[in-house]
Amino acid sequence: MMLCTINDFEKVHRILSHESVYPFISDDYCPEKPAEDLGMSFFGHESIKVLMPNENSVFICVPLSNNVYSVHSNVLPKSRGKTAVRAGRDAAMWMFNNTECSTIISFTPVQNKVALMFSSLVGFKRIGIIEKSFKKNGIFQDQVITGLNRGKL
Give tens-digit pLDDT for 96-137. 999 999 999 999 999 999 999 999 999 999 999 999 999 999
Give tens-digit pLDDT for 36-58. 999 999 998 999 999 999 999 99
Of all residues in the chain, the percent with pLDDT exceeding 90 is: 99
* 30-67: burial string, b at 16+ Cβ within 10 Å, e else: eeeebeeebbeebeeeeeebbbbbbebbbbbbebeeee
Measure CA 13 to chain center.
14
Q: Report which of 143, 145, 133, 151 is spatially closest to residue 64, judged by C-alpha positions.
A: 145
Per the rule left: phi > 0, alpha: psi between -120 and 50, beta: everything else, 81 is left
Give residue 153's pLDDT band: very low, low, confident or very high (50, 70, 90). confident
Residues in the chain: 153
Of all residues in the chain, the percent with pLDDT exceeding 70 is: 100
Q: Using CB atoms within 10 Å of the CB of residue 27, give its burial: 0 to 12 exposed, 13 to 18 middle, 19+ buried.
A: middle
In the beta sheet, which residues pair with residue 104?
69, 148
Measure CA 97 to chain center.
18
- In 3-state terms, the chain is what percent helix, strand and coil (to 5)? 30, 35, 35
Give residue 89's pLDDT band: very low, low, confident or very high (50, 70, 90). very high
Q: Which domains does the chain have, with CATH numbers?
A: 2-149 (3.40.630.30)
pLDDT of 6 above 90 = yes
